[in-house]
């Protein structure tokens, strides 16, 4: 396979970096806690899923998969797809997500439009036009 991954890595990196050093807040948490977290952290993400490693791996899979669908491939690449995402909790403990997990109705649908990032997070996006379509 031949492809210039440098062309799309900005948007994929943006997805991952949006959670780096950011507080992840579940939108089902207590309202006072949510407001407190937003008030005292400039980098936050309000999520429609519980911020566990298992759910983070699903969320990142769905988001990166959406980036791949939005990306305009210039060299005729076909069948570019995501195999899996691994989120580590510890050096040896991790959650791995495959496509069937990411889109599992049983595990709960993930609607990326329900994910809300703070302005500080969005300011750092290198591909805001792509991410604005997704989130």
> pTM for this one?
0.88
**3-class secondary-structure state, position 25:** strand
pLDDT at 69: 84
Instruction: Please give the share of the chain, as a percent, with pLDDT higher than 90.
Output: 74
Minimal CA–CA distance to 1: which of 81, 98, 86? 81
Task: Give the model confidence (pLDDT) of 26-55 as tens digits.
Answer: 999 999 999 999 999 999 999 999 999 999
pLDDT at 2: 45
Q: pLDDT grade, residue 4 (50/70/90)?
A: low
Contacts 24+ apart (CB under 8 A), 108-116: 108/49, 110/48, 110/49, 110/58, 110/59, 110/62, 111/48, 112/62, 112/63, 112/66, 114/27, 114/47, 114/48, 115/45, 115/46, 115/47, 115/48, 115/59, 115/63, 116/45, 116/46
Query: How far apart, in Å, are the Cα atoms of 63 and each of 31, 39, 106, 115, 125?
Result: 26, 26, 19, 10, 14
Mean pLDDT of the chain, nearest integer: 89
């Amino acid at each position: 396979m031949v492809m210039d991954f440098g062309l799309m890595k900005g948007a994929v990196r943006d997805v991952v970096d949006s959670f780096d050093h950011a507080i992840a807040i579940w939108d089902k948490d207590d309202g006072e806690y949510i407001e407190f977290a937003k008030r005292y952290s400039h980098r936050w993400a309000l999520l429609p899923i519980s911020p566990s490693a298992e759910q983070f791996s699903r969320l990142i899979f769905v988001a990166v998969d959406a980036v791949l669908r939005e990306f305009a491939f210039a060299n005729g690449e076909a069948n570019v797809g995501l195999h899996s995402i691994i989120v580590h909790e510890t050096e040896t403990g991790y959650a791995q997500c495959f496509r069937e997990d990411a889109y599992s109705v049983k595990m709960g649908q993930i609607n990326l439009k329900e994910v809300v990032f703070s302005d500080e997070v969005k300011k750092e996006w290198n591909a805001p036009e792509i991410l604005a379509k997704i989130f």
